[in-house]
A and B are shown apart, each in its own frame.
Chain A
Amino acid sequence: MELIKSAFSAVKRIFKYDARFKFSVITLTCLVAFAILSLFSPHDPRSSYYAPINHPPSLKYPFGTNGRGQDLFWLLTHALKNSLIFSLEVALLSRVVAIIIGITAGYKGGLLDQFLVLLCDSFIILPLLPILIFLKLIMRTMTFPTLAIILAMFGWPWDARLIRSQILSLRERTFTYSAVFSGRGLWSMIFSDYLPHILPIVLATTVNNMLWSLGFEITFSILGLTPLDVPTMGTITYWAIQQQALVMGKWWWIAFPMIFLIFLFVALYFLFVSITDFIDPRARILKRG
């Protein structure tokens, strides 16, 4: 309860003083609202050719239409929603695994550490794209939720290693010794003492992970290996490339998805940067002063 109240007042403070935080919160809220708008879409996201083909943005079609006769505005609401859900799924799942393994390996050390590092490395070593293609060949149908789970399974090793190396250096520090000597339990120490140190890394790796999974989804879609009639940022890009949007000058088909993606990630970046700065008391003071 205390934790929540202090977190809430912290958020209020950052919002007031940090312009970047303001920007990112507003942008992210708008994007999420846009994604929620998909629930009100008048068109079935998988249907096509209900609108005139390749029309530039206009009053009736604010983002224009694409070569498959779909209204880009409503299509993007679905695409954004699907892609957000997808990358969040991957990020959350792999964060959980990465944090648990990273902390355990870093703190416990010894044989457990060696074993976990071995596990990590075995995963890191496998080249992802070929394995994904193989799995797709074996499994025949690859739906997006399945792809998310598989990517999550490959997304944690790198970050686990990063977290582990951070923990390794934290462990040898004085405040750890004092905490251990004073009999603090492991997990409470992790939460109150380590967390501010590993939180920035976790956040940074979350942004990277979201970008990475989105990039993979796009690459996979461009190669035509995902369900192509479900709208996501990746499949929209696939169709835009397939129907030669760049060559034909139908810039809106590519520009709008890209603009959304750019805003999303710049907002995420600012969000995490401002949170990180907030956690660092010195920087906070510098900012205000």
Chain B
Amino acid sequence: MLSFLAVFTAFAQEALPGIPRNEVIIIEDPSGRSLNPGRFNIWGGGVTSWSTGLQQLCLASLWYIDPDQGIEGDPWINLLAAEPPIYSDNYKKMTVKLRKGIYWSDGVPFTADDVVFTVQTLKANPAMTWGAYMEVNVDKVYKTDDYTVVFELKKPNGRFHSIFTVRWAACYIMPKHIFEKVKDPIAFDFNPPVGTGPYVLKAYDPNGYWFLWELRSDWERSDLGVAFKTKPGPKYVLYKGVASPEKKVMDQMAHELDIIHDLPPEGAITLAQTNPYCVTWFDGWPWAHPDPTLPSIIMNHERYPYNLKEVRWALTLAIDIVQVVLQSYNGCATISPIHIPPTGKYPEWYFDKIEGWLKNFTIKVGNKEFKPYDPEIPQKIANAVKYAFGYKVPDDPNVLKKMIGYGWWKYAPDVAEELLKSVGFTKKGGKWYLPDGKPWKINILCEAATRSVMTRAAVAIAEQWRKFGIDAQIEAVEPSMLWQRMNYGEDPDTVYWAWCIETWGGHPDLFWFLESWHSEYYRPTGQAVVAKNPMRYKSERIDKVIEELRKTDFFKEINKLIDLGIEYVKICVEDMPIIPLFSYNVFTVCDGYYWTGYPTAKDPYTNPVPNWANTRFMFIKLKPTGRK
């Protein structure tokens, strides 16, 4: 069917009036239709989509941490700042030196005044997007010269700079000369937006389906221009919202869509196999880009029986990860046995170091000892994939490790049985019963239509647990519903298939999510969890790790950070507070017909997933192929 289509769709049409196709790169905006497209005031809230090009091409922040290698080989990138932040010894003062020579797109120079103004405005309005953070943390902010800003903090905080460091987004800098004339900084629409980036907004759809950006004539005075002195390749960038995956595939086959944000595996693989110009992260299986996010089975520790370590481990051992990977991702997943995403540089920092420990890790079942780790799983997945789908898989086990992960926990339902029996569970007629005699029911709450991979994985897990004897089923809901219910934790007999572990990717520090696991932020069931601890996990050992992390310098004591991280990993493996499965793999598919220079696993200078703000760096590497 597709080759039939390919014949008909090979001819391109002019994408926009007056703009030749080979001068514009068309990118999918995954937020689809922007419901309020005329509003660009990201600080004031009420902007439903930041990825219309606003955070990728226009606004910028001080630093970027790339989830991959970084455009110059270092994941840490100074953009609006000239160098990393300088903290005082007691971590109560942070000094930032800004990059000189940058101009806003309307010709006004970028200076320390803009940074100071941004922070003061935010601080005065805690309802603004980063306002609460500034109000809570910043005591005073002032400049010592036109390019140096000093922050005086209310309490010691060695990670204050995180707010200005882009992971997916960060606190962007406002243009003072525009906002100072505005009476209500929240109501102001900031249309047209003015930024330090190399592109300006040329036109947009009042119905919110597309946004067109044009290269500044003075691009060498933009942040990218000053920092890297390279002219971005595309003259125009069009961000388009396309809701239906079939349309995305057909659009790219017709070369009318250059970068697709995400596709169900079948669509991506079909494209990869039929479009000769297709560019994916991995050239061939497993194709997808692993994001530094870790989908896991999250259970509320305040609900019996999930407070029991044995039960959580039993549930882990009753999952056949090979099957789950096959059914959800068609085998293109990157698995992780530990509570750290297997992406970016983490394999090198954490996975390599802990592998030996994992292989020897033992759990006691009754009076027997059992080693649950299975390093052969990547090979098993590769074999299964070859058999079921026929994809070409590499033979080298080290290459396999980098592609699919290091290993996972054994599929051992018999050991799981023993674990359960040791805490009073009984099995009658092939079905499990809780110690109080009631049948064991589990409802897996997962995301619905928008992320089918997650739904499929949940279905697979439910089926396996049913095979094991638990009365399991899935319930697919809208993402915001899932998050809400997970945060309140009030559903009985429910586990959540979502994620709470997210990391930088380009830096080993785990504080980003780990901070909220500290017991001082603990919120009981019925109250919304504050941040990343919906399982309501409490552990004194973890508390100690967090307190140590707080005192460790983000920049200077990287080895200590990693050591503390390893400590955290070991504690979590023993306790298994949540069951980590794999990293969130995104099937970003690029078309090499009009443009070349996309980031790939062979040249991982940034991540290609188009709604991340760090895709900014892609534009200076993209070059036209010359085709009309």
Contact = CB atoms under 8 A, between A and B. Distances in A.
Q: Please say whether the chains A and B touch (CB closer than 8 A).
A: yes
A248 B448 CA distance: 22
B327 A251 contact: no
Interface in B263-300: 263-264, 266-267, 270
Interface string B459-494: 110110010000001111100010001000001000
A48 B246 contact: no
Contacts of B460: 48-49
Contacts, number: 83
Contact of B473 (A229, A244, A248): A229
A15 to B, nearest CB: 42
A243 interface: yes
B416 to A, nearest CB: 20
B249 interface: yes
Closest 9 CB pairs of A and B: A224-B448, A249-B1, A224-B449, A242-B452, A244-B266, A244-B267, A224-B476, A247-B249, A247-B246
A137 B250 CA distance: 34
Contacts of B2: 247-249
Given A53-B388, A68-B327, A248 B266 contact: yes
Pick the most buried of A227, A246, A248: most chain B CB atoms within 10 A of its CB: A248
B73 interface: no
B245 interface: yes
B264 A243 contact: yes
Interface in B226-272: 245-246, 249-250, 263-264, 266-267, 270
A248 B1 CA distance: 7
Interface string A230-254: 0000000010011110111101000
Contact of A243 (B266, B473, B491): B266
Interface in B406-457: 443, 448-449, 452, 455-456
B125 interface: no
A67 B476 CA distance: 19
Nearest to A47: B463
B461 to A, nearest CB: 12
Contact of B246 (A53, A141, A222, A244): A244
Interface in A188-235: 222-225, 227-229
B552 interface: no
B449 A137 contact: no
Interface string A128-144: 00000000110011000
8 contacts: A48-B327, A53-B388, A137-B481, A224-B449, A225-B476, A225-B477, A229-B474, A238-B449
Nearest to A229: B459
Nearest to A245: B266
B266 A247 contact: yes
Nearest to A133: B478
Given A48-B327, A140-B475, A247 B250 contact: yes
B323 A244 contact: no
A225 B448 contact: yes
A82 B43 CA distance: 50
A46 interface: yes
B270 A244 contact: yes
Pick the most buried of B326, B443, B476: most chain A CB atoms within 10 A of its CB: B476
Contacts of A141: 443, 475
Contacts of A46: 463, 466
A252 to B, nearest CB: 12
Nearest to B476: A224
Given A242-B264, A244-B267, A251-B1, A223 B249 contact: no
B270 A228 contact: no
Contacts of A229: 459, 462, 473-474
A243 B267 CA distance: 8
